Structure 1
């Protein structure tokens, strides 16, 4: 139900909801033996229930349940081929390129090269903290199943974001899937440093993070 509720709030929530649904459905299907298919069906039905009213309304009013997406095949009222082409061209023009090298550099560029108000620079930026927290979380938690699953969901959503309109605000639904592993990594790091009497180093690291966040209404992203 949470998946469907997230997707029904705003279209860009489909990035996170879709990635989480794919991972959850795969786990249900492959890890529950003969009961996997039944649990998968219930999971799918609950996820689809929340946005069903919105999809039905859109379908009735426009003739396209995903309006304005998939206009070429599904059409849509009050929309036109020329308008759709201009709309699609605008979204393809966001970001810093669509070559393979651009996709490879995209995570770093989203952190270090973003600029609010400039669509060629993602119309926003991720805080520099992510360049530290994400590798730290991966290094500290790669053996913990829930952390790996969180990053799989985030990674799938990031790939969908990269293939679409590369605006930082569309990444917001994915940030919790990096925040949770990062918090776990910081807690593990604190426990380790306490055992090795390295609390001073952790205090310095924590104060640096607090300084980065101080006085900022949106410490993890800017749009």
Structure 2
């Protein structure tokens, strides 16, 4: 399965002014919970306070980070994370959703395990690259930055990932496969469609020889929706 063409996130767009512009734009269409710059930076500094100085930082990616991390890294390896699973449980009204065509995004929710990629940021660039990463992942506070253990092909390392904040207003706890597929079939925003996001995730996992049953089931249901419409 080949990757679908989609708008790429560019690291140069991740700056304070651009983030604040995105928040203002989102709020034109209704309530949008977002962290202030100071709140966002506080969560970053809180996480980094527990990271050993002088050590490189591993970051686990499970969705769009697989093909579009936007931060600089010096190594990338297949990785498996235990205790969390990939699930469409985050409502999206910007990016790949809008007020007219709301969508869903992947998040790491509790239970099971997840295959993805681990990216290694060298120690001297942790400050600059995590600043980019936090502006990418923590605009709304929908995730919690968490230190986790991830299994690489030849070793197990500790590192960073972003897990679902279950207290966030955009968290969707219970949504069956049919309802999930309907939102993926129709969701669209300025970054593209949820359908592209789903298919890109599948394609890049397949490049790693990983078949995610949950994602493939959703892709089949999205195709069934297309066949009926």
- TM-score higher than 0.5: no
Q: Which band: TM-score by shorter chain?
A: under 0.3
Higher strand share: 2
Highest relative contact order (Cα 8 Å, sep 6+), 1 or 2? 2
Tell me the TM-score normalised to structure 1 length.
0.24
| Pair member with larger Rg | 1
Higher helix share: 1
